[in-house]
Amino acid sequence: KKKKKKKTKKKKKKKIIVMASKRRAKSERKERGTLSMSTTICDSCKTKLRYPSKAIYIQCVRCEKAISPDKQAHYANCIGCKELLRIPITMKCITCPKCETAMNVSTSEPSSGDRPAKRKRDPGAPRQASNAYMVFCKAQRARVKRERPDLPFGKIGAQLGLMWRAMSAEEKMPYEAKAAKDRERFRKVP
């Protein structure tokens, strides 16, 4: 009985140490702060200036409250500490309140990466011609789904790929003929 009690005490100590290290990591994260797409750091003094997506907001250095600048004024009063923050009328750049460095600011919403916008498909345009494997998948997907309803979409595709690779050239002939017919249809359309 005495040995069991000692083991439980050791386990509790380990848990406490782990929790303390988690707390320490969390507090360090708070000190550093998290950088989002709407956060900019001033190059010269490393002050964080935040801009939410639709309007420009300036984070005050002294009290760290984000305020919305007035479009007509050159200066805005911080609500927390009454410090004057200089804002140009153009709203295309702001001045860092700590070191007076002007920085360019984008007022547009943050983009979703460097991907170009997706082109809209013309509804009257013909679909691209399918290859033999795609014709096979269209024909067999429903059958595989009936046999194995528990499989997700991706796994069904993997199963179809295995089936296609296992087929002989003779078994693939009807699908290749349909694919050739589809290519001819696509070529005829101007």
Instruction: For residues 122-140, give the mean pLDDT.
Output: 89
The whole model's pTM is what? 0.39
Q: Measured between alpha carbons, how far is 49 from 57 in angstroms, rounded to an integer?
A: 8
| Whole-number pLDDT of residue 89 | 42
Give yes or no for a contact between 176 and 168, defined as CB atoms under 8 angstroms apart.
no
* Amino acid, res. 169: A
3-state helix, strand, coil in the chain (%, to 5): 45, 10, 45
DSSP helix/strand/coil, 49: strand
pLDDT of 41 > 90? The answer is no
Cβ neighbours of residue 54 under 8 Å, at least 6 residues apart? 109
Q: What is the pLDDT of residue 123?
A: 81
Residue 42 · residue 96 · CB < 8 Å: yes
Query: Is 58:66 a contact under the CB 8 Å cutoff?
Result: yes
Query: Which has the higher per-residue pLDDT, 14 or 157?
Result: 157
Domains of the chain: 35-109 (no CATH), 132-188 (1.10.30)
pLDDT tier at 45 (50, 70, 90 boundaries)? Answer: low
pLDDT tens digit sequence for 80-118:
555 555 554 444 455 555 555 555 444 444 445 556 777
pLDDT at residue 165 greater than cutoff 70: yes
- The residue with tokens 């709203």 is 91
pLDDT tens digit sequence for 51-68: 433 444 555 555 545 554
Residue 8 has pLDDT above 80, yes or no: no
Decide if pLDDT at 32 tops 60. no
- Nearest Cα residue to 77 out of 105, 63, 93: 63
pLDDT at 158 over 90: yes
Q: How far is CA 162 from CA 155, 156, 179, in A?
A: 11, 10, 20
Inform me whether the pLDDT recorded for 166 exceeds 70. yes
Three-state DSSP state, 127: coil
